Amino acid sequence: MIKNIDTIVSKNIGEMEWVLKEFAKEAVKLDDKGELTITTLEKLAGKTIKSLIQIVLLMMGGFLSNVVRSEVNRICSCGKKMGISKRDVTTRILSMFGYVPVTRDMLFCRRCRKGQGVFDKELEIYGEHRITKGMTEIMTYMSQLVPSFERATEAIKKLLNIEVSPTQAQIISEEVGKRVFEKRKTKAELAYERPEDAAPQEVVKI
């Protein structure tokens, strides 16, 4: 359940309406000056879309920050129960559209010295990098297309207007590459040990 959803929606719909009205006003001004072209309108649309995206990102953060669950899983991966260390901590999650601010209580494990937010696993807010799956895919894909991580981050900045560091892109790409390698390795070992399970259509029963 999401608390205060009507309030969140009403507030942001009002802001969206204002942004769209400003877009229309600026278009009329361009027309009055004889400067209304597909090029000038495209630039104006870019600014408008950017403003709308920021509103949607805040709505996403509002939804995630107001999620209510009947039970909270406080068991750490090490098996020990975690306790609440801080209340109402805001974390910025990098998505493919920009940063999503999420506010929630933080849990901490005294045994392994690790922390996480309440409902992080359920909401798929996990990993120390605080990056969504969609943004991870984009960073990895760009890093494969161009010869350096510097060029990859430049392309991301140019196309998405999102700034990430070359070091961050390298770390993410290498971690994804390692997971892919391990997955393929496991699949190859399965095919070697049990070919009838890995590729049953290739196994001819006599």
Q: Same domain, yes or no, for 98 and 52?
A: no
Q: Same domain, yes or no, for 158 and 181?
A: yes
Number of domains in the chain: 3
Other C-beta atoms closer than 10 Å to the C-beta of 122 total 12
Question: Would residue 205 count as lying in a domain?
Answer: no
Question: Would residue 203 count as lying in a domain?
Answer: no
The predicted structure's pLDDT at residue 179: 78
Question: Would residue 198 count as lying in a domain?
Answer: no
Question: Would residue 201 count as lying in a domain?
Answer: no
Question: Would residue 180 count as lying in a domain?
Answer: yes
Question: Would residue 206 count as lying in a domain?
Answer: no
Question: Would residue 200 count as lying in a domain?
Answer: no
Asked whether residue 128 carries a pLDDT value surpassing 80, the answer given is no
- Contact partners, residue 153, CB within 8 Å, separation at least 6: 142, 163, 164, 165, 166, 168, 169
Beta bridge partners, 50, equal none
Give dist(CA 139, CA 167) in Å, integer: 11
Q: Same domain, yes or no, for 92 and 139?
A: no
Q: Same domain, yes or no, for 124 and 139?
A: no
Question: Would residue 179 count as lying in a domain?
Answer: yes
Please tell me the number of Cα atoms within 13 Å of 158 on its side-chain side: 7
Q: Same domain, yes or no, for 121 and 151?
A: no
Q: Which pLDDT band, with edges at 50, 70 and 90, does 206 fall under?
A: very low
The predicted structure's pLDDT at residue 127: 66
pLDDT tens digits, 58-77: 999 999 999 887 777 788 88
The predicted structure's pLDDT at residue 149: 95
Other C-beta atoms closer than 10 Å to the C-beta of 199 total 11
Q: Same domain, yes or no, for 140 and 114?
A: no
φ/ψ of residue 121, rounded to 5: -65, -45
Q: Same domain, yes or no, for 188 and 139?
A: yes
pLDDT tens digits, 13-40: 999 999 999 999 999 999 999 999 999 9
Q: Where are the alpha helices (DSSP H) in 67-199?
A: 133-145, 149-160, 166-193, 195-198
Give dist(CA 54, CA 12) in Å, integer: 10
Q: Which pLDDT band, with edges at 50, 70 and 90, does 164 fall under?
A: very high
Range of the domain at 153: 135-193
Give dist(CA 172, CA 158) in Å, integer: 19
- Name the residue among 142, 52, 154 with its Cα closest to residue 97: 52
Averaged pLDDT score across all residues of the chain = 88
